[in-house]
Amino acid sequence: MILKGRPYLYNTLIIMPSAEIITIGTEILLGEIVDTNTRYIARVLRGMGVDMYRVVTIGDNVERIAEAIRNSMQHAEIVITTGGLGPTVDDPTREAVAKAVGVELEFREDLWEQVVAVISRYGRKPSENQKQQAYVPKGALAIQNPVGTAPYFIVESPPLPMGEGLGVRESVVISLPGVPNEMEYILHESIVPYLQKRFDLNEIIKIKVLHCAGLGEGMIDEKIADLERLSNPTVGLAAHTGVVDIRIAAKAKNESEADEMIAKIESDVKQRLGEAVFGADEDKLEDAALNAVAKRGWSLIGIESGLDGALARKIPHTISISTQSAQSSNLMNTLHAARSESKADAALGIVANVAERSAEFALITPRGEKTHHITYGGPPRSVTRWAVNLALDWLRRRAMEGE
């Protein structure tokens, strides 16, 4: 049985198309450049309802790339490579794809004409090594690159066995340029329509991320563990410094259906976690805190020490004081003086000690004043972000009290 299109139905098992991304480039492995293509491709595929299984980064080695492609073809219907399509000797993707699917490279005169035409736009003649860009795996679907010199191609592989009793899988290997603006254009203009047609993609995956503060990842996990076991929507956690994200991903036939599925889980999460949830998606903790303060009609001033301006970047009207000054005087007294001088309704102060991984907090509002001392168990470089996030959440909750 050959499984083509989407969905695949076999013995009442519905198999959705899955994808793996292979980024190619030794410079990525060495940390010389940051791979932004993977995130971009993954988000586009997600929106089409394609399941992402794995991402692999391989250096410029033909054998290793070919092995990675063969491995991905065993697991996924869609294999996308980026990079390695240039004209130099360290651009091995064409040869690796051909080796992976067991064919030779072939020269395409029409592709060479395209390369020549693109280069001539810049008033130059192509060098001999640029002929390499006109070679593609035999039988590949080669498509012109209107925004660069390197043509890209799609190889529709022969059927591969999935395992005893599971039929066979047909995979497509799509090789895209590594230059981000070229890759993004080609992805939207050619690859998305191709995948929609070939795999009959008529579902979407929509994601909403809820942001939480004031509760650790472990405590949140205890409260929503049963939701994390759901298959659709799926729920997952991602811990940051002082903030925990809850990702809700729904697969549905249309956006309204996905929204409805997400809304149900979101409501459940908020009921269980209460005011720990401060926002969603692009919402920021500092905005949630400042909005809560503004809702009370309070004006606000901040005092920071040992934060290198981190609080000032979040809260306007923040004054930085020296570590020596912060140590030699009481933080609360300093806060009182700053509040009085500025005639602010509320004042928030933080003194961070990176070496000791600790922070002193002080807060004055029309409702009273409080101080707090907390130590941090994480790496010293994260103390600043941790202290600011904790203080902002403290301010937010204080302003929300009694609502």
Per-residue pLDDT tens over the stretch 169-217: 688 999 999 989 889 999 998 999 999 999 888 888 889 999 999 999 9
Beta 204-212 vs 277-280: how paired, if at all?
antiparallel
Question: From CA 58, how far away is CA 297, in angstroms rounded?
Answer: 55
Q: How far apart are the first and last CA of the chain?
A: 62
Query: In the prediction, which pLDDT does 12 show?
Result: 31
Fold of 204-280: Alpha-Beta Plaits (3.30.70)
Q: Region 73-95: what's the mean pLDDT? A: 89
Domain segments of the chain: what residues? Answer: 2-198, 204-280, 285-400
Estimate the crossing angle of helix 62-75 against helix 93-101, to 10 degrees. Answer: 50
Dihedral (CA of 260, 273, 385, 245) sign? negative
Find the mean pLDDT for residues 302-309: 91
pLDDT of residue 127 exceeding 90: no
Architecture (CATH level 2) of domain 285-400:
Alpha-Beta Complex (3.90)
Residue 7, pLDDT > 50, answer no
pLDDT at residue 169 in the model: 66
**What is the C-alpha to C-alpha distance for residues 182 and 148, in angstroms, rounded to an integer?**
7
Q: Give the per-residue pLDDT at 100.
A: 94
> Scanning the structure block, which residue is given the tokens 């593609």?
136
The answer to whether the beta carbons of residues 81 and 41 sit under 8 Å apart is no
Q: What backbone torsions phi and psi does residue 280 show, to the nearest 5 degrees? A: -145, 155
| Measured distance CA(144)–CA(137) in Å, rounded | 15
Top-tier CATH class for 2-198: alpha beta
Rounded distance, CA 93 to CA 251, Å?
33
The predicted-structure confidence for 205-220, as pLDDT tens digits, reads as follows 889 999 999 999 999 9
Give me the pLDDT at residue 297, please.
94
HSE-up (13 A, CA, CB side) for residue 125 = 1
Four-CA torsion 40, 63, 67, 61, nearest 10 degrees: -20
Which candidate, 202, 100, 90, places its Cα nearest to that of 153?
100
B/e letters for 247-281, b = 16+ CB within 10 Å, e = fewer, are ebbbbbeeeeebeebbeebbeebbeebebbbbbbe
User: Does the predicted model carry a pTM greater than 0.85?
Assistant: no
Residue identified by tokens 């204080």 is 398
